[in-house]
Amino acid sequence: MTAATTRRRSTRTTVIGVLLTALMLFPVYWMLNVSLTPQQDMRKSPPDLLPLHPTFAGYQAVLRDQMPYLLTSLLIGLGTVALTLILAAPAGYALAKLRPRGSGAVGVALLIAQMVPGIVMAMGFYGIFLNAGLMNTWWGLIVADSTIAVPFGVMIFTAFMSGIPDELTAAARIDGAGTVRTFRSVILPVSRNAVVTVSLFSFLWAWSDFVFANTLDSGGDLRPITLGIYRYIGNNNQEWNAIMATAVVASVPAALLLVLAQRYVAAGVTAGAVKD
């Protein structure tokens, strides 16, 4: 293969990649464009591809109306991360290193839990939360969101910790460390990539949840940002610039987290896929 052919193929591949990336990112650009479009121009045909007369009324509405929802989503997201790590990390360690009886059945149960639709779980939680007095509470949403994040977290921790050499745990036992001390002082520090991966996905699931929020917290004082966006959608009036401005602001934390943690996420998700 000549150098000219290689360059042409590389250029063609680059162009295709750029076009596909632009196609996938166009909804994000359109969201930003609509957030800056005046309300009276929303039904303009054809619509403006650029915000020729930008307005920041939507972002003013975000600062005026949506800050409590954003803070509630942040609280629920951080609480979900904490609960998920507390439950998933020890469970992953047990399945990867302690290998208790029935660990295979536990793995199958985790896969099944991942396959259950969220709306089905929400309906089940509704009856349980109603009887337990957890309706319209932020900690109830933390528990509900954790049921999605914990099975995923256990599988990630199990795959990652299975790749940690057994010599490390053997050396810790020789030095007199028990099971808990080995997990806390040896296994957990070297599982940073898995911790970041599970934390990120747990936070994103809780941050973007609408099904659980609408089912279990539709009338509480502390409601997440997904319900804040839904608040703008009425039967006869849709405040699209405010809706899209809220969506833009709500997307910023998730985008920043993905950019900052992508290296750890890539290592954490692929851990355990290749064995020596």
C-alpha 54/C-alpha 241 separation (Å) is 10
What sign does the dihedral 28-33-36-37 (CA atoms) show?
negative
CB environment 166-197: b (16+ within 10 A), e (fewer) = eeebeebeeeebeeeebbeebbbeebebbbbb
Which residue in this structure is represented by tokens 């099971």? 179
Tell me what pLDDT residue 50 has: 82
Q: Is the pTM of this model over 0.85?
A: no
Tell me what pLDDT residue 232 has: 76
Per residue of the chain (276 residues), what is the pLDDT tens digit? 577 777 778 888 899 999 999 999 898 898 999 888 888 887 777 888 888 888 898 898 888 888 888 999 999 999 999 999 999 999 999 988 888 887 778 878 888 877 888 888 888 888 888 888 888 888 889 999 999 899 999 999 998 888 888 888 888 888 888 888 888 888 888 888 889 889 999 999 999 999 999 888 766 667 898 888 887 776 445 678 888 888 898 888 888 888 887 776 666 555 544 444
Q: Domains in the chain and their CATH numbers?
A: 67-268 (1.10.3720.10)
Reduced to 3 DSSP states, what percent helix, strand and coil does the chain have, rounded to the nearest 5?
A: 75, 0, 20
